[in-house]
Amino acid sequence: MHERDLALKLWKKGFAVIRAPASGSKTRRIVYPDLVAIRNGVILVFEVKTIHEKRPIYIRKQQVEKLKEFLKRSGGHGFIAVKIVGSMDWRFIPLDELEETNGGNYKVSIKRLMSSLKISNLVAITSKNKTLIDYL
């Protein structure tokens, strides 16, 4: 459900968006991210996380590797999209800013979450006269 909310918000900002098919499907030979949003040829790829309060977020290694495989093929830029339930807010953490944990999984600290990107930043990143490299 939260994926749909993010898809609609990005659509309203001018992105072409596509959500993955329902995760119940049996044969998962193909790796799908939760959401892909494209604007002016710039490809943004998201895994979605939902939290109920501001706390560190943990992401399983497998989920990050799944995303990396999609990014390698597509040439896109990967983000963890975080919905803080109860707030209207979505925040975005670039994949290469995740901290690796001792167990080989990944983490976003509260500090990092609070300084992460907003939808308006994604709009700026995908505007015609700016490259993602310029921005980050």
The candidate with the shortest Cα–Cα distance to 106, out of 78, 126, 75, 83, is 78
Angle CA 85–117–72, to nearest 5: 105
Shorter beta-carbon distance to its own copies: residue 71 or 124: 71
Would you call 23 a catalytic residue per the annotation? yes
Tell me if 82 sits within 8 A of 47, measured CB to CB.
no
H or E stretch covering 120: helix 119-125
Closer CB to its own copies, residue 22 or residue 85?
Answer: 22
Output the smallest distance, CB 117 to its own copies, in A: 20
Q: Which of 23, 74, 115, 120 is catalytic?
A: 23
Structure tokens at 126: 């995908």
CB of 127 to its own copies, least distance (A): 13
Of 58 and 135, nearer to its own copies (C-beta) is 135
List contacts with its own copies (CB under 8 A).
Answer: 7-8, 11, 14-22, 29-30, 32-33, 36, 38-41, 43, 70-71, 73-76
Cα distance between residue 123 and residue 98, in whole Å: 22
Could you list the active site residues? 23
